[in-house]
Amino acid sequence: MREKFFMIASIEGTVSAVATNDIIVAVNGIGYRVFVSLGTTQFTVGETTFLYTHLAVRENALDLYGFKTQQERELFDLLLGLPKIGPKTALQILSQAGVKLIYESVQRGDAAHLSKMSGMGKKTAEKVVMGLKDSLADFADDGSYTNQNGQHGDLIDALVALGYSGKDSRDVLQNIDDETKDTETLLKEALKTLSS
């Protein structure tokens, strides 16, 4: 993929406020409002954060969107290339599904899987899967997509089978330290958190 450069390519600063869909990042006395893809629960006021960014320029607004990884930002840019998908819709799709699920669903050509696991509508899922088919084929699979939360695939399937949404299942697993835990332990911790 050809390298893209942005007017504001990234931002690093202190989180000074956290709202429902956005945060304020303070940099040298200036507070930047940044809409974030994975929800704001992962941000804490007072902590230092680094985000890759996309500046959306409109006639009456300049909106900054932030992402934890370059893969998220790349996928966000690809979503913006789809018909009738604007920045807010692209961010919602990323928030609902996540990079790994979108990538896997596109590679499999399986819009039904994307819809089921993310909770997004069937028409939107079909648009994403069909629209990104050629674009994602250009990426060399270095594992950056498929390895994100790689061991969580089976756990998410199990939690969905138990009645939890795909989004809730992914969210809870992202907040569990999984480096030294086996699948059974992770499942128990996820269920404990989801039922509390």
Q: Is the pTM above the cut of 0.75?
A: no
Residue 189 makes CB contacts below 8 A (sequence gap 6+) with 176, 181
Do residues 135 and 107 make contact, with C-beta atoms less than 8 angstroms apart?
no
Handedness of CA 168, 171, 176, 178 (dihedral sign): positive
10-67 adopts what CATH topology?
OB fold (Dihydrolipoamide Acetyltransferase, E2P) (2.40.50)
CA atoms of 62 and 45, how far apart (whole Å): 24
Q: pLDDT value at position 144?
A: 47
Characterize the bridge pairing of strands 22-27 and 10-18: antiparallel
CATH architecture of the domain with residue range 152-195: Orthogonal Bundle (1.10)
CATH fit for domain 70-137, picks 1.10.3720.10, 2.60.40.1760, 3.40.50.300, 1.10.150.20: 1.10.150.20
The tokens 């807010």 sit on which residue? 88
Mean pLDDT per 10-residue section of the chain, whose length is 196 residues: 64 94 94 86 90 89 90 90 90 87 89 84 90 72 45 66 70 65 76 79
Q: How many CB atoms lie within 10 A of CB 119?
A: 14
Parse the chain into domains and list their residue ranges: 10-67, 70-137, 152-195
